[in-house]
């Protein structure tokens, strides 16, 4: 039984290897949190010789306030280190900005 628990990771918290993006809508200013699984969502790119050259992530994001579509594109090297990023229809934000916005949007009870 111990073998099965070790094999399937029972009892150990799963490691979050996700890429977390925070995107601010250019129209309404809402910040959206996007979680990307790098094992499944990165697209492998090849060089002219047919060898793996790196990865690309293209993510379309829609906020829940004005429903504007934003398009984020990130480029990674073969070791999955980020090399460049761009976005249309918005801007990248930080986790702190997202959490601050979420805290401001939460109504406070009692006083």
Q: pLDDT at position 58, please? A: 97
pLDDT in the model for residue 42: 96
| Residue/partner pairs of 9-18 with CB below 8 Å, 24 or more apart | none
- What is residue 5's predicted lDDT score, i.e. its pLDDT? 60
Q: Which residues of the chain have pLDDT under 70?
A: 1-15, 107-111
């Amino acid at each position: 039984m111990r073998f099965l628990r070790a094999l399937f990771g029972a009892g150990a918290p799963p490691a979050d290897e996700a890429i977390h993006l925070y995107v601010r809508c250019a129209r309404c200013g809402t910040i959206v949190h996007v979680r990307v699984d790098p094992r499944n969502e990165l697209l492998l790119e090849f060089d002219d010789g047919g060898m793996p050259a790196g990865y690309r992530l293209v993510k379309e994001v829609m906020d829940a306030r004005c429903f504007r579509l934003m398009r984020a594109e990130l480029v990674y090297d073969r070791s999955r280190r980020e090399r460049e990023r761009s976005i249309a229809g918005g801007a990248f934000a930080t986790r702190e900005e997202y959490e601050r916005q979420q805290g401001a949007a939460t109504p406070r009870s009692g006083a």
